[in-house]
């Protein structure tokens, strides 16, 4: 191989499964094509066929996961919507989009800056039956890339970057603010226009009839649902509004969430002074052009509507020079108000509600569960701006961007009353007169996270309802409890979630690329290096695996090839949970995985099989004993580093791994496998 020749080494064991046989055939076919190409300059497009087959067999998701029953209930919207691709700047633009996309006054507003996350989300939701999804971007580029890949598409952007400067020209250090603030802004406008809105990140997926559940008692009397983000905060990537009055508390919460940040973007000096800094002091991170973290800002707006007083605590807590005093002051005020203030639980009520029978797995099998709720009112300062709580946090003069936002929301409201100004003493009576609306945190059986709640959904395998016959939630959000690594969500979706990551759609969006992870932006097939099928066996020890991975990385360094990380049988002893007595070799596999598998070390591939009673079940290893993580990616592209953000991250990960390999003085690979070939060495496939 070092002299430019290509070898395909095969496992010599007589018992080879059909899948392994197909993979060996594909590897040999691929090598022969490459040799023929060198000899005769054949069209390199012939190489895509074996690589495509290998990609399918590597994941085995599309071929073997049984089709899911239709679960979108009475909101199977895909066949009923028209699709919309166009601008969203004006009220007319947004109304046109909603006319063509919404279904029964429902719309999903979503985003992501990376193309692969975007098209995979659109595909997941459309495949489920939900077509009323509007992806939002700062310009038209991603929308036009997506157009040809879907028969119907909801995709919008903002053309006037002057009016949208507070988002698209963000320079105040707010990580990820551009895309996140676009969905908050667009969703808030749609609520003001009278629509029910689900605001969702791209790492979400529907699993059951969300609308059928959320529109039924007792959930249908809640106007604003939010996922909980630790303590009392809310998550900015999963919230739902239904039946909100266009001039009511929930519509106001979303408006306040936008307007206060636009005002700070234009002039942040009053906010700095409010926490004891000079008006020009940006030393704590409150920079010119400041935008609050979107989740902190939304939390403050929700908390203000719950307590009845405007809040800016979360937005500036991390920038406050006297954080402990600030936190104690606010949390004391917050926890002692409301119906349960005496118990220190503040303005919340915990109620017992029935759990819908199809979703009881998400409540640990219980028939009933608890839901935390509160009343929302339009908050008002009543002319009091205590200096110890930040004083009046805004410039007295509205800037042009703030005026534009106010006009957009006035126009979107139609005949609805304008929102009372919570800082104007004359509007207190008007604020008090607005009827309250109800808030609740999503119960985990309605909307869950990857690894938090009564059921540890992803790590324990509950997404694989084709194996369990049970559904963990109506919607899931893969945002918590994931393994560390730059590309963790991609791998979790591909390995844990049936239909979570689709290779056909990847080829439709970018047909010039290879159909496996990590190559979407390259425009070519990178040289690959993989361990031959069958070498990773159920008797593998930790030392075997460490040596194989170290050797694979070193060989990749010498050959300048991208590593294809192998499956490891979940039965391997080194993947067993400490203290577990259950033996899958004897009894077969079961869910929850974490009863006997160390799910911090490997992800069992649930979508791969139609039965848990298989002889060998594949795991994707998250880390190795090499003292550093393998960073969760099935194939890392080789250097050089591209200017593309997506490629940089992949290459950075691969380069990081190779850098560690370079630091070792031993660059050759001499390892005897516990299932050696005739030469006593571990097999590799090189192509």
Locate 508 and state its tokens.
């439709």
Contact 483, 393 (CB under 8 A): no
For 416-437, what is each residue's pLDDT tens digit?
999 999 989 999 999 999 999 9
Spatial separation of the C-alpha atoms in residues 166 and 263, rounded to whole Å:
9
CA-closest candidate to residue 487, choices 516, 453, 509: 516
328 sits in which H/E element? helix 323-335
**205, two tokens:** 């997926």
β pairing state of 106-111 and 133-137: parallel
Greatest pairwise CA separation for the chain in angstroms = 89
Are the CB atoms for 110 and 183 separated by under 8 Å?
A: yes
Tokens at 84, concatenated: 């919309």
Nearest alpha-carbon partner for 406 in 396, 415, 394, 419: 419
Residue 21: both structure tokens together: 């046989």
Question: What CA dihedral angle connects 186, 191, 197 and 202, to 10 degrees?
Answer: 20
Rounded Cα–Cα distance for residues 448 and 443 (Å): 7
Question: DSSP readout, 433-469?
Answer: HSPPEEEEEPPTTTEEESS-SSS-HHHHTTT-HHHHS
pLDDT for residue 577: 92
Q: Which two tokens mark 38? A: 């060198």
CA dist 404 → 156, 163, 183, 408 (Å): 20, 7, 18, 6
* Helix/strand/coil for 574: helix
Answer yes or no: are the C-beta atoms of 58 and 31 closer than 8 Å: no
Q: pTM of the predicted model, to two decimals?
A: 0.81
Q: Which of 223, 222, 210 is nearest to 448 (CA)?
A: 210
CA-based nearest residue to 232, from 346, 64, 400, 150: 346
Instruction: Provide CB contacts within 8 A for 645, sequence distance 6+.
Output: 113, 114
Q: What is d(CA 614, CA 595) in angstroms, rounded to the nearest whole number?
A: 18
Pairing of strands 528-531, 562-564: parallel
Specify burial of residue 442 (Cβ count, 10 A radius: 0-12, 13-18, 19+): buried
First to last CA, the chain: 10
Provide the token pair at 388: 């110890």
Per the CB < 8 A criterion, the answer to whether 33 and 496 are in contact is: no
CA distance 291 to 542: 47
Query: What is the per-residue pLDDT for 104?
Result: 97
| Dihedral (Cα; 472, 477, 479, 481), 10-degree rounding | 0
Judged on CB neighbours under 10 Å (0-12, 13-18, 19+), 627 is exposed
Q: Alpha helices of 465-538 — where are they, by DSSP H?
A: 465-468, 488-496, 503-509
Asked if residue 619 lies in contact with residue 598, where contact means CB atoms within 8 angstroms, the answer is no
Residue 346, classed as helix, strand or coil, is: strand
Among candidate residues 345, 355, 346, the one with its CA nearest the CA of residue 443: 355
Per-residue pLDDT of 85-104, as tens digits, reads 999 999 999 999 999 999 99
Q: Are 401 and 164 contacting, i.e. CB atoms less than 8 angstroms apart? A: no
Cis upstream peptide for 219 (omega within 30°): no
Least Cα distance to 309 among 383, 250, 223, 229 occurs for 383
Exposed, middle or buried: residue 31 (CB in 10 Å: 0-12, 13-18, 19+)? middle
Pairwise CA distance, residues 77 & 128, whole Å? 10
- CA distances from residue 501 to 122, 251, 461, 548 in whole angstroms, order as listed: 11, 35, 16, 28
Residues of the chain with pLDDT under 50: 1-64, 514-523, 623-687
The rounded Cα 88 to chain-centroid distance in angstroms is: 24
If you ran DSSP here, which 8-state letter would residue 68 be given? P
The CA angle 470-105-115, to the nearest 5 degrees, is: 65
* Distances 678 to 25, 88, 248, 445, 534 between C-alpha atoms, Å: 20, 65, 76, 54, 14
Structure tokens at 152: 């119907």
- The predicted structure's pLDDT at residue 640: 31
**How deeply is 382 buried, as exposed, middle or buried, from its count of CB atoms within 10 A (0-12, 13-18, 19+)?**
middle
């Amino acid at each position: 191989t070092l002299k430019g020749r290509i070898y395909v080494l095969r496992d010599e064991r007589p018992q080879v499964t059909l899948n392994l046989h197909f993979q060996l055939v594909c590897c040999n076919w691929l090598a022969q094509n490459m040799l023929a190409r060198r000899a005769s300059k054949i069209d390199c497009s012939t190489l895509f066929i074996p690589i495509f087959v290998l990609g399918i067999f590597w994941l085995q998701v599309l071929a073997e996961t049984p089709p899911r029953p239709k679960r979108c209930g009475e909101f199977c919207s895909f066949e009923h919507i028209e699709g919309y691709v166009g601008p969203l700047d004006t009220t007319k633009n947004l109304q046109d989009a909603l006319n063509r996309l919404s279904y029964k006054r429902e719309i999903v507003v979503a985003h992501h800056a990376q193309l692969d996350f975007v098209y995979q989300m659109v595909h997941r939701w459309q495949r489920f039956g939900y077509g009323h999804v509007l992806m939002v971007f700062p310009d038209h580029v991603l929308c036009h890339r997506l157009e040809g890949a879907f028969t119907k598409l909801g995709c919008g952007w903002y053309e006037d970057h002057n009016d949208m400067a507070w988002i698209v020209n963000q320079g105040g250090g707010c990580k990820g603010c551009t895309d996140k603030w676009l969905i908050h802004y667009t969703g808030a406008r749609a609520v003001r226009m009278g629509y029910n809105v689900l605001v969702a990140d791209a790492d979400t997926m529907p699993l059951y009839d969300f609308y059928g559940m959320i529109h039924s008692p007792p959930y249908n009397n809640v106007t604003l649902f939010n996922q909980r983000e630790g303590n009392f905060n809310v998550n900015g990537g999963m919230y739902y509004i239904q039946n909100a009055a266009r001039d009511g508390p929930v519509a106001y919460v979303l408006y306040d969430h936008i307007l206060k940040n636009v005002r700070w973007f234009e002039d942040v000096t009053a906010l700095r002074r409010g926490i004891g800094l000079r008006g020009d002091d940006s030393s704590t991170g409150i920079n010119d052009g400041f935008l609050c973290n979107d989740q902190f800002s939304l939390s403050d707006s929700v908390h203000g509507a719950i307590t009845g007083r405007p809040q800016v605590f979360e937005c500036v807590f991390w920038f406050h020079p006297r954080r402990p005093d600030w936190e104690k002051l606010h949390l004391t005020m917050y926890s002692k108000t409301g119906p349960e203030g005496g118990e220190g639980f503040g303005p919340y009520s915990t109620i017992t509600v029935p759990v819908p029978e199809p979703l009881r797995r998400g409540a640990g099998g219980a028939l009933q569960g608890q839901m935390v709720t509160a009343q929302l009112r339009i908050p008002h300062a009543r002319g009091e701006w205590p200096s110890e709580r930040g004083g009046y946090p805004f410039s007295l003069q509205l800037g042009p961007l703030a005026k534009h936002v106010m006009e957009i929301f006035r126009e979107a409201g139609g005949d609805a009353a304008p929102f009372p100004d919570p800082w104007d003493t004359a509007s207190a009576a008007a604020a008090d007169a607005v009827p309250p609306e109800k808030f609740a945190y999503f119960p985990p059986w309605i909307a869950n996270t990857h690894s938090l709640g009564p059921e540890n959904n992803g790590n324990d395998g509950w997404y694989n309802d084709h194996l369990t016959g049970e559904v963990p939630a109506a919607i899931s959000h893969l945002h918590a409890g994931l393994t560390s690594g730059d590309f963790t969500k991609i791998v979790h979706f591909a390995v844990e979630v049936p239909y979570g990551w689709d290779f056909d759609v990847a080829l439709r969006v970018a047909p010039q690329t290879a159909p496996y992870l990590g190559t979407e932006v390259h425009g070519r097939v990178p040289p690959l290096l993989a361990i031959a099928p069958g070498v990773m066996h159920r008797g593998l020890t930790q030392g075997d695996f460490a040596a194989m991975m170290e050797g694979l990385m070193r060989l990749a360094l010498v050959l300048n090839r991208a590593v294809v990380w192998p499956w490891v049988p979940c039965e391997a002893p080194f993947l067993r949970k400490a203290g577990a007595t259950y033996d899958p070799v004897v009894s077969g596999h079961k869910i929850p995985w974490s009863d006997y598998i160390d799910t911090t070390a490997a992800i069992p591939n649930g979508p791969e099989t139609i039965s848990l009673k298989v002889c060998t079940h594949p795991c994707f290893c998250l880390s190795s004993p090499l003292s550093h993580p393998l960073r969760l990616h099935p194939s890392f592209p080789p250097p050089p580093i591209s200017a593309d953000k997506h490629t940089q991250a992949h290459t950075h990960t691969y380069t990081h791994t190779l850098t560690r390999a370079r630091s070792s003085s031993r660059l050759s690979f001499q390892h005897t496998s516990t299932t050696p070939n005739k030469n006593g060495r571990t097999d590799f496939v090189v192509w």
